[in-house]
Amino acid sequence: MASKKEPGNAPETAKSSRTPKPPAAKPRKMPSPDTASASKGAKPQPPAKSPQAPPPAAELLPEADQELEQILLLLQKVTGVNFTLYKRSTLRRRIMRRMVLHKLDNLQSYLSLLKDKPAEVEALHQDVLIKVTSFFRDEGAFEVLKKSVFPEIAPTKSGEGSLRFWVPGCSSGEEAYSLAMSWLEFIGDRGTTAPIQIFATDVSEAVIDKARLGFYLENIASEVSPERLRRFFVKVAGGYQISKPIRDMCVFARQNLIQDPPFSKLDLISCRNLLIYLQTALQKRIIPMFHFSLQPTGFLMLGVSETIGTFARLFDLVDKKYKIYCKKSPLDQ
């Protein structure tokens, strides 16, 4: 057994009684271990491999992978939501995130976990759903609404019932409330008295409950101006709550955009940054549905990275930057 060295003691060195010699000339460069081994007939050892980054999700979760299809079927069975027409790149990233959390390195193991733990199915369901939102996201879009869209729809509703807006995929409500605030800012001193209903829907009951409550943390002060905070919010412990008049303008409900009937006779649909997560086949079903849902003078607002695709015959472009469209009349289609 090797003996232990006493802690704190420097290693001993050999002593010599002879006079020290001056430094020797620089020695010749010695052959590397691989060269030395080769000279003795030994097989050279390959150099040690440096650590590599893990393979991308596309390699670990190939598109035709049987386990991936089974995971999507299990999600649909438990939640009622069909994710097969969501973009596979998005699904892979969300599934990979859950696998990393559970320290799993293959889909078969993760599929087994889903079958054994129903709570994980719901956790994956919530991860797959798109929840990226904020107040007045792309604020210039709301300025275009006040300048080019609201003036067009307000006069047509004077004394003729309420305006109807729809925000599909509303997540936790920021987009719907931003529309309500923008409308009130627009009418200002104009004397317009047309009531307004903003229908906001999402497939997740959890985010709908949050949206109805209208409570947000204090960090929304980075998105909402002090003037709007004073006018449209109430300061409460830990954050801000949307004021009751604004909340009363918004009707939140669970809805599956792909399966459930749409709203109708709408003046404005704001569906921003949802279509980019859906495959083209599903986008081609949704855009005509939006067209059907709008009033003859209705407007559609998409995200800045989205377009109406091949349906230019159904809509005229109002604002290129913020992807705002108006419904074409039947004669123009």
Q: What is the DSSP letter of 236?
A: E
Nearest-angstrom CA–CA distance, 227 and 224? 8
If one counts the domains in the chain, the total is 2
pLDDT of residue 333: 62
Q: Is residue 284 part of a domain?
A: yes
Residue 62 is given by DSSP the state: -
% of the chain with per-residue pLDDT over 90: 67
Within this chain, do residues 281 and 262 fall inside the same structural domain, yes or no? yes
Q: 183 with 269, same domain?
A: yes
Supply the mean pLDDT for the chain.
83
Rounded to the nearest 5°, which phi and psi values hold at 126? Answer: -70, -35
Q: Which residue has the tokens 């986008």?
A: 283
The CATH number given to whatever domain includes residue 121 is 1.10.155
Both 198 and 105 in a single domain? no
pLDDT value at 175 more than 90: yes
Q: Please list, in sequence order, all residues whose beta carbon lies within 8 angstroms of the beta carbon of residue 107, skipping any fewer than 6 positions away.
A: 60, 61, 65, 67, 68, 71, 95, 99
Q: Are 191 and 167 within one domain? A: yes
CATH of the domain at 182: 3.40.50.150
pTM, 2 dp: 0.78
Q: Containing domain of residue 294, as a range?
A: 139-204+244-332
CA pair distance 61, 67, nearest whole angstrom: 9
Q: Identify whether residues 120 and 149 lie together within a single domain.
A: no
Confidence of residue 329 (pLDDT cuts 50, 70, 90): confident
Average pLDDT on 186-197 reads 79
Q: What is the pLDDT of residues 61-76, one digit of tens each?
A: 554 478 899 999 999 9
